């Protein structure tokens, strides 16, 4: 279970997915058709589906560092197994809340962060057992003890802070790791019961989460762009983005060679799918409101900025030697299939 995100992969500092797991061996065909709407399937067919609210209330959210770190991402801290939950950023002093009614199963010192606490809550729906876990709590609310009954939305404690230096800029933020375990669901990986919370969210909670997700940023999103990514992604991993509006390149393919490295290669694609330019990618994820991206090839450096929300990317990229765009007003829109 992750105790805090590695911001080297999620917001350009260290602590806190996709197509096939292999790079294409031939040019990717570029088409103008859009993929079907994203449908996140329930991870189990067993009756008794849990309904979740978010463990954070409106007003307690923050985007100082990353906002939300997605389920399933592969970074240095989850290179083999994929992230088994969401890391949720809070305003400093923000309250962590129970995502569903249940019974406190465990309260114990966080094994990854000295002075922090983990709370685990058991939820029973019929004969179906679930557990939610909340890590990196700086304090625990009185009465949150083993065997105590809790209601959905009940305060569990205060999110712990993390202090990092990104380049030369100090960054302090608060966060927890939020995990859902479904004990009817198993994988041959660490945290074998961990499933994405996304399809379990109640309607209002899903609307709130979607707003949070629209402001999140992650260095893995060029290849793992969704809030819920496959934990079994294998590397090298590639993803192709196809232009659906604007006058930018017809397509662009990003490839990560290793889950332990945040580095990407890119290929600009013509309408035919043939690569017309290739090189490496440099990201600056702490830029607000949008991160910057540099495409570096043998003929120069293209400066740009972008925004990715699940299967849609807005990208504004200058010609080699040109100035970086100051906003996304003239950005081209790209889509990628799940």
Fold of 237-335: Lipocalin (2.40.128)
Domain 7-20+48-213: give its CATH architecture: Distorted Sandwich (2.70)
Residue linked to tokens 């079994």: 232
Residue 123 structure tokens: 């939820």
Task: Select from 191, 212, 181, 226 the least CA-distant residue to 50.
Answer: 181
- C-alpha distances in angstroms, 152 versus 50, 53, 132, 138, 148? 12, 7, 12, 20, 13
pLDDT digits (tens, 9 = 90+) for 8-53: 444 433 333 332 333 333 333 344 444 444 445 555 555 578 999 9
Same fold, 7-20+48-213 and 237-335: no
- Residue 29: predicted pLDDT: 38
pLDDT at 36: 45
What does the pLDDT read at residue 290? 87
Burial of 58 per CB tally in 10 Å (0-12, 13-18, 19+): exposed
Specify burial of residue 260 (Cβ count, 10 A radius: 0-12, 13-18, 19+): middle
pLDDT mean for each 10 residues of the chain (338 residues): 42 34 34 45 62 97 93 90 96 98 96 93 93 98 98 98 78 96 86 94 96 94 97 95 97 96 95 96 82 94 97 96 94 96
E strand map for the chain = 68-69, 86-90, 95-97, 102-109, 117-125, 128-140, 149-150, 155-166, 169-182, 194-195, 237-245, 251-256, 264-269, 275-284, 292-297, 300-309, 312-317, 332-335
For 49-104, write each residue's pLDDT tens digit: 899 999 999 999 999 889 999 999 999 888 889 999 999 999 999 999 999 999 99
Each domain of the chain, given as residue ranges in start order, spans 7-20+48-213, 237-335
Tokens describing residue 226:
């969704």
pLDDT value, residue 289: 80
The whole-number pLDDT of residue 44 equals 52
What DSSP string describes 71-127? BT--SGGGTTT---SEEEEE-TTPEEE-SS-EEEEEEEE-SSSTT-EEEEEEEEETT
Position 47 scores a pLDDT of 55
Helix (H, G, I), strand (E, B) or coil at 15: coil
203 vs 23: CA distance, rounded Å: 37
pLDDT value, residue 190: 85
Residues listed for the chain: 338
Nearest-angstrom CA–CA distance, 53 and 94: 16
* Rg, C-alpha atoms of the chain: 20
């Amino acid at each position: 279970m992750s105790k805090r995100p590695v911001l080297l992969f999620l917001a350009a500092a260290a602590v806190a997915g996709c197509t096939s797991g292999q790079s294409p061996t031939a040019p990717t065909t570029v088409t103008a058709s859009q993929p079907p709407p994203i449908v996140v399937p329930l991870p189990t067919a067993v009756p008794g589906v849990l309904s979740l609210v978010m463990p954070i209330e409106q007003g307690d959210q923050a985007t100082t560092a990353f906002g939300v770190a997605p389920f399933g991402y592969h970074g240095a801290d989850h290179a083999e197994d994929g992230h088994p939950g969401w890391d949720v950023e809070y305003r400093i002093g923000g309250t962590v809340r129970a995502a569903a009614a249940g019974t406190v199963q465990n309260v114990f010192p966080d094994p990854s962060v000295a002075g922090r606490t983990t709370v685990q809550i058991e939820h029973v729906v019929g004969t179906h057992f679930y557990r939610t876990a909340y890590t990196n709590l700086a304090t625990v609310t009185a009465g949150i003890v083993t065997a105590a009954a809790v209601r959905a939305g009940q305060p569990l404690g205060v999110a712990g802070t993390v202090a990092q230096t990104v380049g030369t800029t100090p960054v302090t933020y608060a966060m927890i790791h939020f995990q859902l375990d479904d004990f009817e669901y198993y994988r041959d990986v660490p945290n074998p019961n961990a499933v994405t919370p996304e399809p379990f969210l109640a309607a209002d909670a899903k609307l709130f989460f979607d707003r949070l997700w629209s402001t999140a940023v992650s260095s893995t999103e060029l290849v793992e762009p969704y809030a819920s990514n496959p934990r079994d992604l294998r590397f090298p991993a590639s993803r192709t983005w196809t232009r659906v509006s604007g006058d930018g390149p017809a397509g662009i393919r990003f490839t990560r060679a290793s889950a332990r490295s945040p580095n990407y290669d890119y290929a600009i694609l013509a309408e035919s799918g043939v690569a017309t330019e290739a090189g490496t990618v440099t990201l600056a994820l702490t830029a607000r409101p949008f991160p910057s991206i540099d495409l570096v090839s043998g003929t120069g450096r293209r400066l740009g900025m972008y925004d990715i929300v699940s299967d849609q990317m807005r990208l504004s990229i200058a010609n080699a030697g040109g100035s970086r765009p100051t906003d996304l007003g003239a950005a081209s829109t790209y889509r990628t299939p799940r």
